[in-house]
Amino acid sequence: MTSAERTPTEPVDADFEVTDWRQSDEGGRQRAFVSKSFSGGLVGTSEAELLMAGGEAGRGYIANEVFIGTINGREGTIVFQHGGIDDGVAPFSYGYVVPGTGTDELAGLSGRITYSHDESGARVQLVLNS
C-alpha cells in the first residue's frame, strides 16, 4: 500500500514557538536556520533550513525540518517538508511528513503537515496516514 492509498487518521494539533532564527541574505534570496519547540500532540524540538525569495509582487519559501520528540506519545525523529507562496491575492501553503524518514516509534509515518499563525499564536496540525 502506498502512502497515497493509506487512510488519514484524526488530526494531531500542537502549538509551537520559534526559539532561534539565523538568517543570511544571498543576492535576492534568503536562507534561514530556524529552531522551534512544540507542545501539545507534538512535544519536542525541530531544526529547519528555509530558502526564501520575494519582492514587491510576492514571496515564497521552502523548508526541510527535522523534528525530534514525540507525536501522540510515539517517540523518535522525522522530517517535515513544507513551503508556501504569497502573491498578495491567494496565499498557498503545503507540507508533508516525508515517508521513510521516521525513526524508532515514528518509523513508517507519512502524511500532511499544516502550519498556521494568527492573533492567538502559532500552531501546527498533522494528519498522518495509517
Q: Any idea what the CATH number is for the domain that residue 88 is in?
A: 2.40.350.10
**Domain limits at 97?**
3-128
pLDDT tens digit sequence for 84-101 = 999 989 888 999 999 999
pLDDT tens digit sequence for 3-38 = 445 565 889 999 999 999 999 998 878 999 999 999
β-strand partners of 112 = 96, 127
Q: Determine the residue type at 116.
A: S
d(CA 2, CA 120): 37
Write out the three cell numbers for 92.
Answer: 498557498
Tell me the pLDDT of the chain averaged across its residues: 91
Q: Are 28 and 4 in contact (CB under 8 A)?
A: no
- What is the mean pLDDT of the segment spanning 55-73? 95
53: left (phi over 0), alpha (psi -120 to 50) or beta: beta
β-strand partners of 25 = 30
The number of domains in the chain is: 1
Question: Cβ–Cβ contacts within 10 Å for residue 38, how many?
Answer: 22
Q: What backbone torsions phi and psi does residue 106 show, to the nearest 5 degrees?
A: -95, 0
**Predicted pLDDT at 6:** 57
Write out the three cell numbers for 103.
Answer: 525513526
